[in-house]
Chains A and B, each alone.
Chain A
Amino acid sequence: MSELLIDNISMRFDLPNGGHVQALKDVNLTLKTGELMSVLGPSGCGKTTLLRMIAGFESVTSGAIFLYGDEIEALPPDKRPVNTVFQNYALFPHMTVAENIGFGLKMLGWSGSDINTRVAEMIGLVKLSAFAARRPAQLSGGQQQRVALARAMAPQPKVLLLDEPLSALDLKLRQEMREELKSLQRETGITFIFVTHDQEEALSMSDRIAVMSAGAVQQIGTPEDIYEHPVNRFVADFIGDINLLEVVAEAVDGPDVTCRVGDARMTATAAQPVSAGQNGWLAIRPERVALLDAPDQNSLPATLQGTVYLGTDTQALADIGGGSMLRTRMQNSLDGAARPKSGAAVHLSIAPGVARFLVD
């Protein structure tokens, strides 16, 4: 059975001026037990609203939420067996670390000795044993983050909701905490829903990612899926770096779409069924384009307009004629000899399956 089922949720609220905002529209999500799913999107895309709705802080306009088959969308937050790690932690300032972690257990009516055992276990799990008697204000950001985690996991929720839990930490700590979160999740087997606007975070941690924009889920898939096979222009553009060229489908043969790019023709894979004559975008990842001195069967001629040294990579801008430009990216070698020069005439080789034809 699915752990959490979000069934066609919509949410709109009215504005004082008579208009309304559609915060979520027709969102469907199914979470498997023990899965770590990221909800990724730019700010204002509705990802936090979705999370708050699962927690019970926002009410749904239509649709239903099921947790292990029980419908929960009408329950108040204190009646839902899910817990939240808040963006700025929301630790209780007047309680010690141990009291913070034990709060949920106390509310559930656990006995004092059971609470102590569980709190000690959680404090050990997040490596804060030396800080049990401190107040949140006496802890660093990373330590507060761990307290928030331990507090939310102590009641052993079925689903843990994390609202940008790493965004308040500095880069180094953020990278460490990613690993730690992931291993905590594996150890405890709790299902995580992880809201973030940081694609690197989402790609590195998630079993699956739900990409959201404008209140709707754009694509759900594994990190590889989302990166390599984006279903629409938004997902392609939002995740990683990509060339998007506006093209017309000239001929369609199953998933293969032939279109004119610059002075040449190219075959791309369509993300969804298209018909000849349809407008769309050709999406090509810069690092999938190879720079060749001589043409091969997949190459187009181009002139390099400029190169940028980026440490690990060199990025080059190539003019492919017809006013179109393609960015390419290749790893730098130790001697730097192979680095392309601006103004050079080259051949861009794009292997079959690299280019995708996206309708919107």
Chain B
Amino acid sequence: MAAGIGGRTVSSTFMPARLWLLLPSWLVIGFFLLLPVALMAVYSFLTKEFRGGVIWDFTLAAYDQFLFDRGLFGDDPPTIQWTYITIFARSILQAAVATVLCLLIGFPTAWYIATRPAHTRSIWLFLVTVPYWVNLLIRTMSMKFLIRENGPLNEGLLAIGIIDTPLEIINTDLAVQLGLFYSYLPFMVLPIYAAVERYNFALSEAAADLYASRWIILRRIVIPVVMPGIVAGCILVFVPSLGAFLAPDLLGGAKNFMIGSLIEEQFKGQAGNWPFGAAASMILLSMVLIVLFFYARNQAKEQV
């Protein structure tokens, strides 16, 4: 994963065989990953066909529509179009909160699992992944039932007298964050687990021996050493959270529109504007790539 940047170099004698053996992977990546993305990039510069599809007529209209408001008939002087920028900003915030939630719960979980005796670790790891054998849609729906106004959560809290009126969780930002948190928690737990499992606990002892308190050991030794796992986990949670549409649609309601829903709408829904959906995807992709670029550059510097 991200920590593998700057790995070992293989003797040049083996290069031809290595290239041939990697060919199937390159073909699959090229055909099913790079080609569709390239297609989307091209679509984002085309003209929309009414109710889906594209006309092969190159234009910047999709990006223009994303950024600028030219009035109802398109002939007013352009002003900044805040609608989509706001959706993006909200999505980034939601994804960031979900990532922080996952980190706060995921780090102690990963730590706990990694410090169990070796033979019980795989059981814990299996338990973490159990919910993921169920389809995401079903899981998100069950979350909806769980937190709705007269769902088990509210009924339970009412029954034991902690609250007098049902909590309004459904159709709020909190509901979206809970949904994202629940959807992507293992993506945080697993890389951190891998990093903590490799962590040499003699380092903690050495720090304690050199007069460091437990809190300082965590902050100055443990966290920096397992940082690659933390960063990998954050990327793995943040990126899909940013583009998620199931949780926002089902839990967040209409007023908590996120990028994922916006894009989905352009291809599947009423809007039917493929170039605009493609342009929004490209903007999302470039934002993610910029973050990853800085991360990779930072990693390369660390590994000197």
Binding site for B on A (CB under 8 A): 55-57, 76-79, 82-84, 86, 88, 90-94, 103-104, 107-108, 151-152, 155
Contacts and interface: CB of A to CB of B under 8 A. Distances in A.
A83 B210 contact: yes
B36 interface: no
B80 interface: no
7 contacts: A78-B208, A84-B209, A90-B206, A92-B225, A107-B211, A108-B211, A155-B211
Contact of A83 (B203, B209, B212, B213): B209
Chain B CB within 10 Å, residue with most, of A55, A76, A104: A104
A90 B208 contact: no
Nearest to A88: B202
Contacts of B224: 94
Interface string B207-244: 11111110010000100110100000000000000000
Interface of B: 200, 202-203, 205-213, 216, 221, 224-225, 227
A90 B224 CA distance: 15
Contacts of B216: 107
A151 B210 contact: yes
B121 to A, nearest CB: 17
A92 B211 contact: no
A186 B213 CA distance: 31
The 7 closest A-B pairs by CB, nearest first: A104-B210, A90-B202, A90-B206, A107-B211, A77-B208, A94-B224, A78-B211
A250 to B, nearest CB: 55
A93 B225 contact: yes
Given A93-B203, A155-B210, 12 more contacts: A57-B205, A78-B208, A78-B210, A78-B212, A83-B209, A84-B205, A90-B206, A92-B203, A92-B206, A92-B207, A94-B224, A104-B210
B210 A103 contact: yes
B209 to A, nearest CB: 5
A177 B210 CA distance: 23
Nearest to B210: A104
B212 A84 contact: no
A103 B209 contact: no
Given A57-B205, A77-B205, A86-B205, A94 B225 contact: yes
B104 to A, nearest CB: 23
Contacts of A82: 209
Contacts of A104: 210-211
A76 B210 contact: no
A86 B211 contact: no
A6 to B, nearest CB: 18
A92 B221 contact: yes
Nearest to B208: A77
Contacts of A83: 209-210
A78 B208 CA distance: 5
Nearest to A84: B209
B298 to A, nearest CB: 13
Given A93-B225, A94-B224, A94-B225, A103 B205 contact: no
Contact of B208 (A76, A91, A94): A76
B234 to A, nearest CB: 18
A152 B205 CA distance: 12
Contacts of B212: 78, 103, 107
A83 B205 CA distance: 11
A82 B211 CA distance: 10
A138 to B, nearest CB: 8
A104 B205 CA distance: 12
A91 B205 CA distance: 11
Nearest to A135: B304
Nearest to A161: B209
Given A93-B225, A94-B225, A77 B202 contact: no
A79 B213 CA distance: 9
Contacts of B225: 92-94
A104 B209 CA distance: 8
Contacts of A93: 203, 225
Nearest to A104: B210
A354 B221 CA distance: 56
A56 B227 CA distance: 28
Contact of A107 (B200, B205, B210): B210
A85 to B, nearest CB: 9
A91 B203 CA distance: 7
Nearest to A81: B211
A17 to B, nearest CB: 14
